[in-house]
Amino acid sequence: MDHASATLSPNQPADNRRWLQLIAGVVCMVATANIQYAWTLFVPEIEETYGWPRAQIQVAFTLFVLVQTWLAPIEGYFIDKFGPRLMVAFGAIMIGTAWVINAQATTLMGFYIGAAVGGIGVGSIYAT
């Protein structure tokens, strides 16, 4: 039997679906990566706008990384319980919420809360 005439089993997605999943995964990773990899671009602007010391601004990034990594075992449990689709959707909602919180934050505490919420979102997507 040649490859072209083989039928797909119910558990094997079609090639176009695999490409769609790959593209969706790349989009998710790009959306989450900007929070951590572009971080240093925003620090001088935040420092200039609010006059906060750089060390206190960097605490937000530390909180983000701690929440993102330390919650991975819990997120893994929820991935097993609810499935990857729901966890990626949850992560996307949390990241969007973090963007809104950070955009509206005028205090360090608000900024820290945004970082923690973003860490939960990115961690959920990375763990998945």
Task: Express each pLDDT in 59-115 by its tens digit.
Answer: 999 999 999 999 999 999 999 999 998 998 999 899 999 989 999 999 999 999 999
Instruction: Indicate whether 28 belongs to any domain.
Output: no
Please report the pLDDT score of residue 13 as a whole number: 56
Instruction: Indicate whether 24 belongs to any domain.
Output: no
pTM for the full predicted model: 0.78
Amino acid 20 reads L
Instruction: Indicate whether 27 belongs to any domain.
Output: no
Please report the pLDDT score of residue 97 as a whole number: 95
Note the pLDDT tens digit of each residue in 4-39: 545 555 555 567 788 888 888 788 777 777 777 778
Please report the pLDDT score of residue 83 as a whole number: 93
The number of domains in the chain is 1
Instruction: Indicate whether 11 belongs to any domain.
Output: no
Spatial CB neighbours of 99, under 8 Å, sequence gap ≥ 6 = 114, 118
Instruction: Indicate whether 114 belongs to any domain.
Output: yes
Instruction: Indicate whether 14 belongs to any domain.
Output: no
For the chain, the distance separating the N- and C-terminal CA atoms, rounded to the nearest angstrom, is 36
Instruction: Indicate whether 30 belongs to any domain.
Output: no
Instruction: Indicate whether 16 belongs to any domain.
Output: no
Domain that holds residue 67: 35-127
Spatial CB neighbours of 106, under 8 Å, sequence gap ≥ 6 = 50
